[in-house]
A and B are shown apart, each in its own frame.
Chain A
């Protein structure tokens, strides 16, 4: 007992000061713009509910929803409750909801109009009093991207870009971060007119996934991979983000976006950065994001006239996926019958730096591919010389290290081994380690993780302005070239993409792996 007496009381709540207890964020209000929308009911509020139920939210916490639809607080709560019960069947508790929902409020208003913000400001002031939220505010923009700049401007004009009475103000931006480089820059500039970069949290939920974070753990907590993780040993890298689903009901949205904007600009570029980046000095926001930006900067610009040497797009036609016949993209709901929107993209990217000079990164993503899979395959150079006969090494291929993110998280290494018997036949064997199974613990939902980081003020897993712009810069020439084209290669649903994509690698004497 005596040693604890001597301990200086530097922290206000000494009971909290312990590694084994989870850290709980400061009191705060989250204001959600676009509160009647899909994301709010399906992802945001369920993630906040789970955090509350799991004792990770402060007692003094409130959610204020804002959109144009007229609703009372109770109607809003009821709507969220219904969505929650649907998604949380069996894991929903009336008592927790009672207590949690008392902190949920709704304001109806047009986020284009200044009076909405006057009302909001007054309301937040009352909440500070009533629920002791201490002037800490999070503005979550879950409205349509076309409103982002306006909302930020209105917040700024109303003086809400700073927290009240010493509290903080943070701004969360959902993807897409612009439609191209110019609009991304414009958006960033618009936001930064009122908010400092340190207040801005651009969310790409991919980074909230445990499995994606594990790429960093694998690379930087294991000494044996790093020494061979470079052009001396690596022949090329393949990054695959494959989905088996089609566009479903999101046809209208997808027609505007396409695979390049929807997946490549954010998720795939993030995976590329995590794969290619240098070891950060520390796992903190600036160190990690600095290294990621360096990768994007080092990516070789694709020459405008040679886009077809580096990029392939495709669109799925009807076909069979997992025993089911499915429609082609142009037959999907709310899709133009002559649409040229791409549902598949393959790219060849060079990262021109000391580590990766001359090593191509082949990247592909698509919908209606044979299965859902995300993986990074590091293909090593063949041995410089083999002492065995050509006949004896027929089944032998160069080493491949595959980091699988989905579905079974793990790594596999293809190694050469002797085939038992007389003579000296060597063949490749796969050594598989499914480390996902080593910890069957249910990984928290990506939004839960990110919302908690946001409230704790840790932006490491969020996208910095220059990251978003850097990713667009790489894709810019490709988008320009494709926008002028009338034709798009097609591929039957349930196959690994158009023939042109195979050709992209064949020209280099390589081929795509089958994930």
Chain B
């Protein structure tokens, strides 16, 4: 992609009218023509000073695939002094070689300190482009209980969160599950869930052929090996398996540090008992391996230690009877968020998995 970043020379405090005028000016080319604005959505991002740079980079990457008006709110409510600082930029890409049309996506960056940081909705609202869906992305820690969130939520169609961004994934899953049940909450997307979708595709495919689909009912043991930062993924995965396969939770045991940590779960499946062993001791991958055992077969999806590939296998005893290696895909922030921007409505499969995961953790 050929492109060019343009930014407005001035910053500081500006009115909404000034911002719109400056943004239009950014689209003007040197030869006097005007680049077009293409936009398919509004994207509001709430972040802090520390992560601002990373986040801004992902947002401008996203502009290529989802040209949008991005409103990046960098806030520090802890400051007592009010400060409002606005930066404007446009990312214009040239299509079709020489003489091609330029199309620009815009970004408004708002630094808010002090009281305005508690009223971000008043800053974001007037900057939204009408008639387009609006997404709200919290790249970092996020507290669904805060009044700030409630106000922002009314502006948007979908909230994109990262259930692993908080210090405690367990608390975070619980809070999220609580949020989903509430009336008026916009649809929720979770980057950890997006990162799981290649895993879910591979697992589903293992049982794709009719002679193996039957084995799903006979699964009696599941092992999930995950590592630091992978708690949320691992729990969502188990939540998904349990809801989709109709397993009911009977008991959950937290293993002590001496036993290596993790969880041991007892479910009642359609045919009998299912034990799920969750082992958090993978040193190198957030999600390393998932294994399912049925009467005759064992199924496994595992991730190569340092590679992008994952391997799915079916074994009968010691015999390998099916195998394939595929790309697991990239998990860059921009890619994950982009994936979430494709969806508009509520993701009921995710919600069910989340609720089950939270229920397991609350035991």
Q: Bound complex: CA of A93 vs CA of B36, how far in Å?
A: 39
Is A415 at the interface (CB under 8 A from chain B)?
A: no
Of A78-86, A142-150, A433-441, which stretch is located at the interface?
A433-441
Q: Assuming A434-B103, A435-B38, is B326 touching A52 (CB within 8 A)?
A: yes
List the A residue with the shortest CB-CB distance to B343.
Answer: A20
| A430-458 interface with B by 8 A CB criterion | 432-441
> Contact mask B166-203 → A, CB, 8 Å, 1/0?
00000000000000000000000000000001101111
How far, in Å, is A63 (CB) from chain B's closest CB? 14
> Shortest beta-carbon distance, A425 to chain B, in Å?
20
* B327:A55 contact, CB within 8 angstroms: yes
Q: Which of B97, B197, B213 contacts A20 (CB 8 A)?
A: B197
Bits for A36-77, please: 1 = Cβ < 8 Å to B, else 0: 000000000000000011110111100000000000000000
State the CA gap A407–B98 with chains docked (Å).
12
Is there a chain A Cβ closer than 8 Å to B90's Cβ?
A: no
Tell me the residues in window 18-40 of chain B with beta carbons closer than 8 Å to chain A beta carbons: 36, 38-40
Give the distance to chain A from B69, nearest Cβ to Cβ, in Å. Answer: 13
Interface size on B, residues (CB 8 A): 62
Option from A7, A99, A433, A435 in Cβ contact (under 8 Å) with B324: A99
With A55-B205, A434-B95, A439-B65 known as contacts, the answer to whether A13 contacts B213 (CB < 8 A) is yes
Smallest CB gap from A436: residue in B: B95
Would A59 and B324 count as touching, CB distance under 8 A? Answer: yes
Q: Give Cα A53–Cα B202 distance, bound, in whole angstroms.
A: 12
- Smallest CB-CB separation from B326: which chain A residue? A55
Q: Determine the distance from Cα of A7 to Cα of B248 in the docked complex, in whole angstroms.
A: 14
Give the interface residue-count category, chain A. 35 or more
Closest A residue to B345 using CB positions: A19
B38 to chain A: which residues have CB within 8 Å?
433-435, 437-438
B311 near A99 with CB under 8 A, answer: yes
B257 at the A/B interface (Cβ < 8 Å)? no
How many angstroms from the CA of A96 to the CA of B325 in the assembled complex? Answer: 5
**Most B CB atoms within 10 A — which of A98, A100, A408?**
A408
Partner of B206, one of A17, A59, A407, A432: A59
Among the 9-residue stretches A21-29, A117-125, A245-253, A495-503, the one with 4 or more Cβ atoms under 8 Å from chain B is A21-29
- Segment at the interface with A among B8-16, B224-232, B276-284, B348-356: B348-356
B153 contacts chain A at the CB level, 8 A cutoff: no
Q: Are B352 and A1 within 8 A (Cβ)?
A: yes
Residues of chain B contacted by A102 (CB below 8 angstroms): 323
In the docked arrangement, what's the CA distance between A5 and B66, Å?
Answer: 38
Whole-angstrom CA separation of A93 from B248 in the bound complex: 41
Contact status A13-B103, CB under 8 Å = no
User: Is A4 in the interface zone, CB < 8 Å from B?
Assistant: yes
Residue pair B216, A437 in contact (C-beta under 8 Å): no
- A437 and B93 contact, Cβ closer than 8 Å, known pairs A1-B248, A1-B352, A20-B349: yes
Q: Which 3 A-B pairs have the closest CB atoms?
A: A99-B325, A12-B213, A408-B96
A–B Cβ pairs within 8 angstroms, 25 of them: A1-B249, A4-B243, A4-B244, A13-B207, A13-B208, A14-B216, A14-B244, A16-B204, A17-B244, A21-B200, A21-B201, A22-B201, A53-B327, A55-B198, A55-B205, A59-B322, A95-B304, A95-B309, A134-B209, A407-B100, A408-B96, A438-B38, A439-B66, A440-B93, A441-B65
